[in-house]
Amino acid sequence: MAEPGASPAAGGEASRGMPLRVDAEVVAAECEGGANHRLRLAVPGWRGFLPGQFVMLSPGALAAVPRTDPLLPRPMAIYRAPGDRGEIEILFKRHGRGTALLAAARVGQKVGLVGPLGRGFPTADPGERAVLVAGGTGIASIYELGVRIRAAGGAVQVLLGARGVDDLMGEADFVSAGLPLRIATEDGSRGERGLVTDLLEQELRGDAATRVYACGPTPMMRRAAEIARGSGAPCLVSLENPMACGFGVCLGCAAPLREGGFALVCRDGPVFDAERIEWAGLP
């Protein structure tokens, strides 16, 4: 049973790098069709990140943002850090007031940033075989993971899912990075018609030696975990629970564990061994 309020075990590479609290500057802001948006941020003092880590973003400079509606910053996966020059990219969907304000940010605007936060994905084994399965905004959490596993000599298959082509994010980036890609949309407007977890089932086919990495809506991750278990394959999931702080003090992002008690998605995750999660207790 996890100790209430316990700190995570000393986390190797995942504990590297102190998070920043800074005003980042928007250097590029693009609408990518539908509700999909991309922000590129120049972050003073940025020292890199691990795939799976995230930042908390406020729609304005920390000292100046009106703390009205919404009150809270928004957790956002770090999509990638192009050019290694202190800039990061955020890929997200406009679906509420917080994301609408971020989507309206213009070049030159300041955005309050706290991060990188969380423990990220563990370092890939050299030469490992990996299937990365992501749906919706979960796609933003796995791009850099795929790039790094392949750079370490691993074999990567990426599976992306969306309701329709308008919801699909980042396809061109995965293609230009040369990551093998299959797509499923629920309405069949892009790739194969169906769920991305159907593709996972076809890819795994009982293969226990492939590692599954999943990020997306809870039902998608839960199904991916079931499919992996059925194949005897290890499965890591990156959870997306709502959170207020992102660094382990609001205790709002608790995820129930099968061993009993809760883990904090922000501090102990967001990446977890899927077998530890008590899926029925996740909202």
Partner 1 sequence: MGGSAVISRPELTPEEVDPRVDLGGIALRNPVLTASGTFGYGTEFGPFLDLRRIGGFVAKSLTLEPRFGNPPPRIAEAPSAMLNAISLENVGVDAFVREKLPALPEGVTVVASLFETEIDRYAEAAKRLSGAPRVAGLEVNASCPHVKSGGIEFGQDPAVLAQLIRAVRRATSAPLLVKLSPNVTHIAEMARVCEGEGADGLSLINAVQALEVDVERRRPVLANILGGLSGPAIRPIALRMVWQASRAVEIPICGIGGITSAEDAVKFLLCGASAVQVGTANYLDPGVAGDVADGLRAYAARHGFPRVQDLVGQLETGGR
Q: Which of 34, 154, 180, 252 binds partner 1 (CB under 8 A)?
A: 252
CB of 71 to partner 1, least distance (A): 5
Tokens of 112: 């309050």
CA–CA distance, 142 with 133 (Å, rounded to integer): 8
Say if residues 162 and 185 touch (Cβ distance below 8 Å): yes
User: Of 39, 127, 48, which is closest to residue 81 (Cα–Cα)?
Assistant: 48
Residue span 87-116 as binding mask against partner 1, x where in contact by CB under 8 A, dash where not: -------------------------x-x--
Question: Which residue type is seen at 211?
Answer: R
CA–CA distance, 225 with 92 (Å, rounded to integer): 24
Q: Quick check: 3 binds partner 1 (CB under 8 A)?
A: yes
Q: Calculate ∠ Cα 52-83-174, nearest 5°.
A: 55
Q: Quick check: 279 binds partner 1 (CB under 8 A)?
A: no
CB atoms within 10 A of CB 161: 29
Residue span 31-70 as binding mask against partner 1, x where in contact by CB under 8 A, dash where not: ---------------------------x---xx---xxxx
Site for partner 1 in 218-247 (CB under 8 A): 241-245, 247
Q: Which of 8, 19, 34, 122 binds partner 1 (CB under 8 A)?
A: 19
Q: Which is nearer to partner 1, 45 or 83 (CB)?
A: 45
CB of 243 to partner 1, least distance (A): 8
